[in-house]
Structure 1
């Protein structure tokens, strides 16, 4: 992707577990209104045998295709492969952790919840029960059900693979706390947000890119302008 004469950074949007690039479409439309360029990835751990490190490789490949500076927006599980990938890229100005796992070297998603690594990490984690409430509680029910119907099984290895790098230690980061989140409650987000340089809050459930795309786009636009520290 070329710069197209725009000096503002592009946004690379990285989805969470069970999701795909499809979930960003309302936000991408709103971001175009803010004059921001966007790119997305489909993390292979949703639906294939790939783990977190393969996801990180896909993120790194996407960053290599973008000309100019980039702000990476990572949602939920997507924060883990982003944290792993970004140190190997030279064009990331900032990471935005959107209700995301901002973990450190040696940590993994299971450990965050105090769970042991599985003896057999192969196989898939099914879509959680009642995803409409868990992920999309502030969306109209028909829209929430439509989104839930697009979710895919998640490879279990992505939850047990451990970080060997922590990008937020060397790259500026911002955390966006989703205050009404039922999947990753706000207190858990705030504990991780202490690792970020700046913190913002949005009164939304776990998926503001679907429920509050205009509000989230406005916030990301300000961050993309460099007004976030």
Structure 2
């Protein structure tokens, strides 16, 4: 395997989300609840455009809170959200959130499908950092700000605000990207270096969407993971950045609805 772009620094996991009132969510008859898990350097608001479209079409949507501390811990957190929902669930992960949903779905019989949005789908033993370095193209490492030391050990990672637009969200209006940069959620460096212990995509149907101009996860890596997971449908957004759910919410929502129906 090609040396990880993160070098010796084990970059953390990519995922976060919103503090939604999960237990009180009521899913319309016949429709699953859509659980969205965002990635590192983003927050729950990155799903706003997708949420609006899904709710317009009658779905109950929850943006699950993702701590961005470790794959195993984050998966337990998201798994608790899933377990609190009566009825079927479609799990959707962005970026590092893909690592989280791949683990969180295990042992949750109500999860019916997985949707990966510019997201990692690691096999057992693989890390997000290792998958990013498997193919050339990521420019994340030099775009990171100096690590923020944590009192309990390890570091939090941020993208430099001055480089956020170009690195993370190049197809988003600059003013919007500036707000995203200021509100970005950091990830603990150990999360991106934590090996997966579960790979739910091996037994659940999957769908993938990503941009061909992604600078965080190389498009070749995303294509490799989609093919390996036997994706029912893979959508490649021309000119799309790492945050296709922000810049192309219609395409992302449409693919999620296909996953709901189990259609390619």
Post-superposition shift, 1:223?
Answer: 2.3
Of 191, 214, 229, 2:250 maps to: 214
SS in 1 for 2:105: helix
Q: How many residues of Structure 1 are paired with residues of Structure 2 in the alignment?
A: 219
Specify the alignment match of 1:226 in structure 2: 262
Give the conservation status (yes or no) of the 8 Å contact 2:27–2:60: no
Of 97, 106, 109, 1:90 maps to: 109
SS in 2 for 1:13: strand
Post-superposition shift, 1:113?
Answer: 3.9
SS in 2 for 1:151: coil
Give the conservation status (yes or no) of the 8 Å contact 1:73–1:97: yes
Give the conservation status (yes or no) of the 8 Å contact 1:3–1:68: no
SS in 2 for 1:194: helix
SS in 2 for 1:124: strand
Specify the alignment match of 2:66 in structure 1: 43
Specify the alignment match of 1:54 in structure 2: 73
SS in 2 for 1:22: helix
Counterparts of 1:95 and 1:13, CA distance in 2: 10
The structure 1 segments of at least 4 consecutive aligned residues displaced by more than 3 Å after TM superposition are: 1-5
Calculate the TM-score normalised by the size of structure 1: 0.88
Of 195, 199, 207, 1:174 maps to: 207
Specify the alignment match of 1:123 in structure 2: 155
Structure 1 gap ranges (5+): 116-120
Post-superposition shift, 1:114?
Answer: 4.7
Of 175, 181, 186, 1:153 maps to: 186
Give the conservation status (yes or no) of the 8 Å contact 1:34–1:221: no
Give the conservation status (yes or no) of the 8 Å contact 1:13–1:24: yes
RMSD value, Cα: 1.9
Specify the alignment match of 1:7 in structure 2: 30
SS in 1 for 2:208: strand
Post-superposition shift, 1:160?
Answer: 1.5
Post-superposition shift, 1:166?
Answer: 0.8
